[in-house]
């Protein structure tokens, strides 16, 4: 079943953001899949995912993105 394309950026209060990062870190350390709900959709991140950090700089702003990528099998 093919999923619809999606490009969403969701902001969270700091306490919720920290809780999500802690759950992610726990899953990574335990080598378990990670589950997260973003804008009403539950996302299942497999253990085989690739994790990277991206830094972007423009004239008047900077951005750091913690990215998780994987291919559907």
DSSP 8-state class, residue 72: -
Residue 59 near residue 28 (C-beta atoms within 8 A):
no
Read off the pTM: 0.83
User: Domain for residue 45, yes or no?
Assistant: yes
DSSP 8-state class, residue 33: -
Say how many domains are in the chain: 1
Instruction: For residue 13, report the phi and psi dihedrals to the nearest 5 degrees.
Output: -60, 150
9-66 pLDDT, tens per residue?
989 999 999 999 999 999 999 999 999 999 899 999 999 999 999 999 999 999 999 9
Residue 48 structural domain = 14-69
44-59 pLDDT, tens per residue?
999 999 999 999 999 9
User: Domain for residue 6, yes or no?
Assistant: no
């Amino acid at each position: 079943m093919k999923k619809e394309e999606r490009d969403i950026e969701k902001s969270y209060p700091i306490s919720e953001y920290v809780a999500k990062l802690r759950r992610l870190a726990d899953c990574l350390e335990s080598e378990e899949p990670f589950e997260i709900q973003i804008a009403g959709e539950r996302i299942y991140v497999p253990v085989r995912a690739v994790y990277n950090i991206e830094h972007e700089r423009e004239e008047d702003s900077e951005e750091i993105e913690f990215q998780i990528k994987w291919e559907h099998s």
